[in-house]
Amino acid sequence: MNARRHDLSLALALAALLSVAWTIAAWADLRQLRLPDTDDAMRLQQVRDWLAGQAFGDVAQHRLGLGGPIHWSRLVDLPIAAPIALFSPLGRHDAEVAAVIVWPALLFAAALYLTARIARVLGAPVATAVVVAGIAYPSTTVFLPGRIDHHGVQLVMVLGALLGALGPVTARRGRAAGLCCAASLVVGLETVPLLGVIGAAIVAEWVASGGRRRLAGLGGGALGGLIVGRMAFASDAFGYGACDGFTAEAWRAAMVMAAATLLPLVTPDPSAWLRTGLARGHAVSPTGDDAASRLKPGMRGRLRRGLAIIGIAGAVALLWSPDCLHPYGRVDPLLARLWLGQVAEAQGAWQAPFAATIGYLGVMAAGLGATAWRLRVVRTREWALMLALQVTALAVALVQLRGAQSGAILAAPALAAAIDAARRRGSVALVGAWAASAGMLYPIAAQALTPPSGKPAPMAGDCGSAATMAALVRLPAGTLMAPIDAGAWALAATRHRVLGAPLHRNAAGNRAIYRFYLRPPGEAAATLRRWNVRYIVACGTMPGADRRGTTADALIQGKLPGVRPLVRSDDGSVIYLSDSGRTL
């Protein structure tokens, strides 16, 4: 069996084993299409709307808020829609259940295969690296059954780009890296820092060695991929004035930077001019040693060209697309404080709960130490790139914990090498190395050390629970006032129109939710009339539930004028009927 086939077989076997185990554990939710995250629920609804006839270029969610466009890409919808169509003979519901299990499993297998190939290039133990990657929390969370949002796709694209940046200097590897970078940018911008490091490493390789093939392939692949992405996946809202997804601003900036990687290959090298002059006997250097240091490898000339071109290109990209400096700069300040700042994966390491921080950063920190050790031992460009990527992922995680989703799996090759070294030192060292490398242990340990919160909820129930959705689905379609996360579940589980969901472009609807629940009860009626709200969900997790004098507090006490209790769900949340709204 050749190496590629061995790596693929190993990846498929482990991905299948873990995916089946996870599916069995979560079957009660999966069979009801109760997916792991609100983004997964909304992604499934986007696919449903497209399959039901919504235009491919129309990425608006028309049952949300004012019905404006969202920032997601249809590229991710394609591989979800395909298995739904493939399994359609099973019936639509069962086809969707199969799709949300199969697609993350395939992505997981791809991530493990790429990890195996990366470990092989680095000289790390392949099988051990695959096992470490398979339990590398929180990377594994984006491949769980039901995780159909875009983060798994982006992580696979980062690994593909990294593999293209390693190994022999060939145009084919460069093109693969460029295409993966382009595909990741078409999906979203969360991985831009890591893609930037990979691109910089390929430019640095050209500066150091003069090898042009990988750099040429990178630029050509990225430009080609971005052009195809613009033609195939630019939505009707491509011109939206922000740099928060695959928009015109983001595309222009990416095109400038992709083109910049090719320019050093076609611009003159000042050191070449000097060599020509010396050959003709017309150039005299007063410092011969310094001239020789410049002329022998030509590295300084390439460095000057590279820095000048990339610097100018970066300035042009930012002048042309200034919003790319602040992708979420247009988010309403109220929503940034009350909602976006409270999203767990969007919090910085110092803002998140202790258990979340340790769970997210634990194995990545161990991987950083192991990678630094490997670089000290072997001193290769490949290990230097691995260290740079993990440092970047850690820096991102300090600002937003989601950076650890990439950092954990990137740690696998170095941790595998550390386990192999520990094996030669005895069983105690081996057990310690495996414990440090088992990413799934960190959140378990952190949770065990975190005392439970003793503060009781002011009201029973969860506004987004399966029980609440079961109660809502029996009601005639109407406009629903519910907390932001509950809106995502309602979009996928019911026919209702919702004011809010965890999408930052839905500013008006999301703002209306917070103003309704948090403001005094006397202002509630005007909001209900303005949005034609028919149903209101009240529970212990709604905004303002723990504050006296708010509309939420009035709902808990059952004393909000103009509304009356309609249904109490099995978990204790209450659905109120508003006199202001009408059914749709």
Give per-residue pLDDT as tens, 399-425: 988 899 999 999 999 999 999 999 999
Cβ–Cβ < 8 Å for 146, 101: yes
* Domain shared by 399 and 493, yes or no: no
Rounded CA-CA distance 85/286 in Å is 74
96 and 35 part of one domain = yes
Domain-located, residue 519: yes
The domain tally of the chain equals 4
Task: Judge contact between 56 and 163, C-beta under 8 A.
Answer: no
Least confident window among 281-295, 331-345, 441-455: 281-295
**Given pLDDT bands bounded at 50, 70 and 90, which one contains residue 265?**
confident
- Out of 87-91, 332-336, 486-490, 565-569, which region has the weakest mean confidence (pLDDT)? 332-336
Q: Are residues 309 and 387 in the same domain?
A: no
Q: Are residues 257 and 306 in the same domain?
A: yes
**Is the domain of 65 the same as that of 200?**
no
Q: Classify strands 479-481 and 533-538 as parallel, antiparallel or unpaired.
A: parallel
Closest by Cα among 182, 248, 250 to 219: 182
Q: Do residue 509 and residue 561 come from a single domain?
A: yes
Where is the domain boundary, 422, 451, 480? 451
Strand order in the sheet with 574-578: 497-498, 479-481, 533-538, 574-578, 563-568
Residues 377 and 424 occupy one common structural domain: yes
Would you tell me how many other CB atoms lie within 10 Å of the CB of residue 174? 27
Residue 480, H or E segment? strand 479-481
Inside any domain, residue 166:
no
Least confident interval from 171-180, 186-195, 289-298: 289-298
Answer yes or no: do 145 and 212 share one domain: no
Could you tell me the two tokens for 246? 């695959």
Q: Which of 327, 357, 375 is the last residue of a domain?
A: 327
Q: pLDDT value at position 297?
A: 55
Residue type, 313: A
Residue 122 shares a structural domain with residue 191: no
Expressed as residue numbers, the domain containing 312 is 171-327
Do residues 111 and 133 make contact, with C-beta atoms less than 8 angstroms apart? yes
> What mean pLDDT is predicted for residues 183-210?
94
54 with 79, same domain: the answer is yes
- Provide the whole-model pTM: 0.93
Identify whether 574 is part of a domain.
Answer: yes
Q: Burial level of 1, CB count in 10 A (0-12/13-18/19+)?
A: exposed
State the burial class of residue 448 (Cβ atoms within 10 Å of its Cβ: 0-12, 13-18, 19+): exposed
Do both 188 and 299 map to the same domain?
yes
69 shares its domain with 111: yes
Q: What is the pLDDT of residue 278?
A: 44
Q: Decide which of 119, 149, 179 is a domain's last residue.
A: 149
